[in-house]
Amino acid sequence: MLYTNSLIYIERHESEIPWLTIFTHIPHKEFSECSHTEKEAIWNALDLIEKEMLVYFTPTKINIASFGNMLPRVHWHIMARFENDSYFPEPMWGQKQREGFVLGASMELFLEKIKQELTSHLN
C-alpha cells in the first residue's frame, strides 16, 4: 500500500508504465454511493497524482479510468502513458502494439515523492 487515510487508500499497479489505483475503504459498488467526503478525497488524490506524474514523467497523456467490471467496487486507475509504451494508443487492457518499452525515470523515486506529497496534502 502506497498511501492510506480514513477514506481512501492508494496502491501501485504493477506495470511497465506509472500506474496507481485509488480505492475507498468502504467497498461501494458505485461512485454515487460514496459520501461527499469520499468523493472529495478521491478527486484530490487524482488531481495531485496527475500533476506529479505530468511533472516527473512528462508523459504523452494521463489516463484516468473507473470501470469496476472485474472488481465491482469503487476504484480509480491513473496511468502515465507514452507514445512508445507497449500498448499506446490502445488502453492498457487492449492489444499490445510493440515490445521494448523502458520507462525513462525511476519509478521508485516517484513513489517516494508521491508518498510524501499525499501525506502532506491529503491528511
pLDDT digits (tens, 9 = 90+) for 42-77: 999 999 999 999 999 999 999 999 987 777 899 999
- Count of the separate structural domains present in the chain: 1
C-alpha cell at 41: 478525497
Q: What is the CATH number of the domain that holds 36?
A: 3.30.428.10
41 near 8, Cβ under 8 Å?
yes
B/e letters for 58-91, b = 16+ CB within 10 Å, e = fewer, are ebeebbeeeeeeeeeebbbbbbbbbeebbbbeee
Q: pTM for this one? A: 0.94
Q: What is the DSSP letter of 71?
A: S
C-alpha cell at 67: 470501470
For 63, the domain range is 3-122
